[in-house]
Amino acid sequence: MEDVAQHLQQEAIKRTDPGQRDEFARSAFNRFYYATFIPLSRSLADMKDQWTELPHKDVPELLRGSLIRELKLGKKRAEKLGDNDTAGLCARAISNCHEVAAIMETGYAVRVAADYKSEVRIDFSSGADFKLSNVPVSIAKQWPKRVEAYVGSISAAMRQLSD
């Protein structure tokens, strides 16, 4: 899906017709969001069955709420047992939950603007690094890899706690 998003990004840059530029740019933001959301959603479902098919807007809340509570509880248990490795893994995962939640919150807002708010204009004043809702496409392009890296540590901590 990232390849599709990058293709749409390049098409938006190439197009001279303002309507087409806008459509391709919006579609690029949409695809970068979904290239982030879908793997994250699968990872959350792998962690807990009840986290399957979460609504998009609920993901940041889950990350900042239930998931962090579980990680904090696991960290506390690990510290009591003197398991510094697991406690450190949980601490990193807690920090990463905040990072992923922030990315997903921004991504969701941008995706909603791209899909449903045509009055929110694409800003092409920066050339190839066009923006939607003040978010440059270069930042949106980073979402999938950043979230993948953060989720790796969150998943590792959750696996460690379930063992």
Which CATH number belongs to the domain containing residue 24 in this structure? 1.20.120
Domain carrying residue 48: 2-162
3-class state of residue 163 by DSSP: coil
> Which residue intervals of 48-136 are DSSP H helices?
59-62, 68-81, 84-116
- Phi first, then psi: give them for residue 109, nearest 5 degrees: -60, -40
Residue 36 pLDDT: 98
Strand order in the sheet with 122-123: 122-123, 131-132, 135-136
What is the value of pTM for the model shown? 0.94
Residue 1 pLDDT: 86
What is the mean pLDDT, run by run of 10 residues, along the chain of 163 residues? 92 94 97 98 94 92 97 97 96 98 98 96 94 98 98 96 85
Residue 9 pLDDT: 94
Residue 53 pLDDT: 86
**How far is the CA of 112 from the CAs of 80, 101, 109, 119, 158, in angstroms?**
44, 16, 5, 12, 31
The count of structural domains within the chain is 1
